[in-house]
Amino acid sequence: MGGFLIKSLYFSIDPSLRSRLGLVFQEGETIFNWGIGVVLRSEHPEVKFGDRIEGVFNFEEYTIRYGMKGDTAAQCLTRVENRHKLPWSVFVGAIGISGKTAYYGWKEFSHAKAGEVVYVSTGAGAVGSIVIQLAKRDGLKVIASAGSEEKVKLLKDIGVDVAFNYKTTKTSDVLQKEGPIDIYWDNVGGEMLESSLDASSNGARIIICGAISGYNSGNAQPIRNLVQLIYKSITLYGLYVYEYDHKYREEFYQVMPDLIAKGEIKYAEDVTIGLEKVGETILAQQKGLNTGKSIIKVTETE
Amino acid sequence: MGGFLIKSLYFSIDPSLRSRLGLVFQEGETIFNWGIGVVLRSEHPEVKFGDRIEGVFNFEEYTIRYGMKGDTAAQCLTRVENRHKLPWSVFVGAIGISGKTAYYGWKEFSHAKAGEVVYVSTGAGAVGSIVIQLAKRDGLKVIASAGSEEKVKLLKDIGVDVAFNYKTTKTSDVLQKEGPIDIYWDNVGGEMLESSLDASSNGARIIICGAISGYNSGNAQPIRNLVQLIYKSITLYGLYVYEYDHKYREEFYQVMPDLIAKGEIKYAEDVTIGLEKVGETILAQQKGLNTGKSIIKVTETE
């Protein structure tokens, strides 16, 4: 069976890339992550010229592949439809891995009820901002934090009830005043997770989606108060998005592109042009300098 | 409505008592915990002479109460039946709070399937030993640890497949060899929880039942590798037994006394006579010197 040639268009830059350096990614090797490309030539019966393909790509301008199926969900390629004529960059963000992480995790683990209180850390990030909007649609009170005044403004724009800058306001103070919290969406780990455990209601759900505070410290920041799990019947869910792809993928593509096209779910992007900028873009994200989904646009033109 | 006078018979000594010292229990005040007593006199229409009553009692020889209902499940008193003529001490252990903790937690959170692997820390303890036997009945491979050769022998007697002394054998070595583990029943926290996270299978369930390693250190031992929750879709459940009393209580009393009377579930007891021995009994348990359920028999004769 013949192969097909894909021109890379957009790559997703995710905080978790950091955790793979030196483990999954060895020095001198090409790194890879979620992306989208366009088929320039195909000798494969199921793939044709002009198809837009989503999946995990090596960070290179052109890729040759020989099939759509991979060993794991993450390795599978998928042809994407764009009925709403959305910008293709959205397919690595709000309708890509970030949107899926938010949507699958929220549906599977939040057990959200209207009137409950949720706290979202890194609320201005690609995943957090979608979680916030899903929570608002479900009728929850949303507390969210970010690391700059600009990001706090973005939080307010997407409907957050209590938005704060965690660098100038103590998380534990806010949660004590505005909590207790029924759900915590954790992108950070460390101190914020500890504060959230302390401020949890009885029966709270905590969704562990990321641990950015630990990626750069060599050792993750330790959690000292897990005993709160016992006292308050708290459940901690580890969210590995690929596990839930078979369960929610179809629903996701029915629901999200439509909500985004109508403007009912908003997204922000931080696009950097050029593969040679990948290194500094990862670094900027680890420093929290991006606002919205961090994306590499591989070449100037699609 | 009149009250009733209860003579205290047996009190449960639990590792978690330690965590309440200075918090729930203030210096100079009477401590309290699960126990069983017999009614000596009653002016209450629902309670009569000779009734055996289970509930949370102050640690004193006689108690006067005015009703069976409390504000919380833990404060409620319950009349217990003893169709199988079991020793009354069992009603603070295998058919009391320890058995319920094991049974409710296993039923609610383990999602056990035959052929899976479970690791139980403090397997020779009152809760752990019941968990082990429930797991064996469900067809699992059971790994369990304890802190002495005598306790390791007890583990083998109740059917543990891989029993080890954690003081002479490294937990992480055993789990690496005999795992990965699908379920971890955690009575300890600290290093054992970290090793279990590292040795978990994809989709593992961890039931946090106790954190004895942290009760005496002022600060609980921190957990550094919660990021494993993400990588392996692990769920951590905090087990607060009272939360599940309404759901499993009836089933529990139908199932467990029968299994115990038939010898299909075994239990061990470590009974100390005399209220004046409570202090040293709590200390001995914190040091791991008891084998089996630690119980105070209030007076020489029932």
pLDDT digits (tens, 9 = 90+) for A37-87: 999 999 999 899 999 999 999 999 999 998 888 766 667 899 999 999 999
CATH of the domain at A172: 3.40.50.720
Taking only the tens place, the pLDDT of each residue in B110-154 is: 999 999 999 999 999 999 999 999 999 999 999 999 999 999 999
Is residue A260 one of the residues assigned to a domain?
no
Mean pLDDT value of segment B179-194: 92
pLDDT of residue B21: 81
CB-CB under 8 Å, B235 with A229: no
Taking only the tens place, the pLDDT of each residue in A239-280 is: 988 889 899 999 999 999 999 999 999 999 999 999 999 999
Say which residue the tokens 């005015």 belong to. B66
The number of distinct structural domains making up chain B is 2
Give every CB contact of residue A82 below 8 A, 6+ residues apart in sequence: A52, A88, A91, A257
Is residue B262 one of the residues assigned to a domain?
no
Which one of B214, B232, B238 has the shortest CB-CB distance to A229? B238
Name the percent of chain A lying above pLDDT 70: 95
pLDDT of residue B190: 86
- Looking at the fold, whether B155 and B213 belong to one and the same domain comes out as yes
CB-CB under 8 Å, B243 with A230: no
Is residue A208 one of the residues assigned to a domain?
yes
Give every CB contact of residue A249 below 8 A, 6+ residues apart in sequence: A100
- Looking at the fold, whether B224 and B122 belong to one and the same domain comes out as yes
pLDDT at B221 over 60: yes
pLDDT of residue A36: 96
8 A C-beta contact, residue A167 and residue A139: no
Interface list for chain A against chain B, based on CB atoms closer than 8 Å: 19, 189, 193, 202-203, 208-211, 214, 219-240, 243
Handedness of CA A159, A287, A20, A267 (dihedral sign): positive
Is residue B247 one of the residues assigned to a domain?
no
- Looking at the fold, whether A104 and A76 belong to one and the same domain comes out as no
Determine the Cα–Cα distance for residues A276 and B215; give it in Å rounded to an integer: 52
Give every CB contact of residue B279 below 8 A, 6+ residues apart in sequence: none
- Looking at the fold, whether B194 and B118 belong to one and the same domain comes out as yes
Taking only the tens place, the pLDDT of each residue in A152-192 is: 999 999 999 999 999 999 999 999 999 999 999 998 888 89
Interface list for chain B against chain A, based on CB atoms closer than 8 Å: 19, 189, 193, 202-203, 208-211, 214, 219-240, 243
Which one of B208, B235, B240 has the shortest CB-CB distance to A237? B235
Q: Other C-beta atoms within 10 Å of A199: how many?
A: 23
**Two tokens, residue B65:** 């109460």
Q: Provide the strand spans (E) within B83-125.
A: 117-120
- Looking at the fold, whether B184 and B217 belong to one and the same domain comes out as yes
Q: Among A222, A241, A260, identify where a domain stops.
A: A241
Determine the Cα–Cα distance for residues A65 and A48; give it in Å rounded to an integer: 13
- Looking at the fold, whether A119 and A86 belong to one and the same domain comes out as no
Give every CB contact of residue A264 below 8 A, 6+ residues apart in sequence: A137
Which one of A211, A225, A238 has the shortest CB-CB distance to B234? A238
**Two tokens, residue A27:** 């020095």
Is residue A249 one of the residues assigned to a domain?
no
- Containing structural domain, residue A284: 4-93+268-297
Determine the Cα–Cα distance for residues A141 and A124; give it in Å rounded to an integer: 17
CB-CB under 8 Å, A236 with B230: no
Is residue A175 one of the residues assigned to a domain?
yes
Taking only the tens place, the pLDDT of each residue in A83-139 is: 999 999 999 999 999 999 999 999 999 999 999 999 999 999 999 999 999 999 999
Give every CB contact of residue B26 below 8 A, 6+ residues apart in sequence: none
On the CB side of B90, how many CA atoms lie within 13 Å of its CA?
A: 21
Taking only the tens place, the pLDDT of each residue in A8-18 is: 999 999 988 88
8 A C-beta contact, residue B93 and residue B12: yes
Determine the Cα–Cα distance for residues B186 and B15; give it in Å rounded to an integer: 13
- Looking at the fold, whether A174 and A197 belong to one and the same domain comes out as yes
Distance from the B262 Cα atom to the nearest Cα atom in chain A, whole angstroms: 32
Distance from the A261 Cα atom to the nearest Cα atom in chain B, whole angstroms: 31
pLDDT of residue B194: 93
pLDDT of residue A297: 97
Determine the Cα–Cα distance for residues A35 and B144; give it in Å rounded to an integer: 45
Mean pLDDT value of segment A138-160: 96
8 A C-beta contact, residue A226 and residue A198: no
CB-CB under 8 Å, A238 with B228: yes
CB-CB under 8 Å, A226 with B220: yes
Helix B171-178 and helix B190-198: axis angle, to 10°? Answer: 20
3-state SS class at B57 = strand
Closest CA to B298 of B280, B279, B271: B271
Closest A-chain CA to B242: A233
**Two tokens, residue B266:** 């075994």
pLDDT at B217 over 80: no
pLDDT of residue B290: 85
CATH of the domain at A54: 3.90.180.10
8 A C-beta contact, residue A11 and residue A298: yes
**Two tokens, residue B185:** 């029943």
Distance from the A214 Cα atom to the nearest Cα atom in chain B, whole angstroms: 9
Is residue A246 one of the residues assigned to a domain?
no
Taking only the tens place, the pLDDT of each residue in A209-222 is: 876 666 555 556 78
Closest B-chain CA to A237: B235
pLDDT at B218 over 70: no
pLDDT at B67 over 90: no
- Looking at the fold, whether A109 and A235 belong to one and the same domain comes out as yes
Q: Provide the strand spans (E) within chain A.
A: 4-12, 32-42, 52-58, 62-65, 78-79, 117-120, 141-146, 162-165, 181-186, 200-208, 235-238, 269-273, 293-297
**Two tokens, residue B16:** 């978690």
Average pLDDT, chain B: 92
Return the residue in A236, A239, A243 with the most chain B beta carbons within 10 A, the one to mutate for interface testing.
Answer: A236
Which one of B211, B226, B232 has the shortest CB-CB distance to A220? B226
Q: Any long-range contacts for B255-261 (C-beta under 8 Å, 24+ apart)? A: B255/B103, B256/B94, B256/B95, B256/B99, B256/B103, B257/B82, B257/B83, B257/B84, B257/B86, B257/B95, B258/B84, B260/B84, B260/B86, B260/B90, B260/B94, B260/B95, B261/B84, B261/B86
Q: Among A193, A224, A241, identify where a domain stops.
A: A241
- Looking at the fold, whether A107 and A13 belong to one and the same domain comes out as no
The residue with greater pLDDT, B300 or A259, is A259
- In terms of Cβ atoms closer than 10 Å to its own Cβ (0-12, 13-18, 19+), residue B294 is buried
Q: Other C-beta atoms within 10 Å of B142: how many?
A: 25
CB-CB under 8 Å, A208 with B230: yes
Distance from the B161 Cα atom to the nearest Cα atom in chain A, whole angstroms: 28
- Looking at the fold, whether A83 and A104 belong to one and the same domain comes out as no
Mean pLDDT value of segment A220-225: 81
Cis before B45? omega within 30: no
- Looking at the fold, whether B132 and B197 belong to one and the same domain comes out as yes
Is residue A34 one of the residues assigned to a domain?
yes
Closest B-chain CA to A193: B226
pLDDT of residue A212: 63
Determine the Cα–Cα distance for residues A5 and A66; give it in Å rounded to an integer: 9
- Looking at the fold, whether B89 and B101 belong to one and the same domain comes out as no
8 A C-beta contact, residue A120 and residue A193: no
**Two tokens, residue A261:** 């096209």
Interface predicted TM-score (ipTM):
0.81
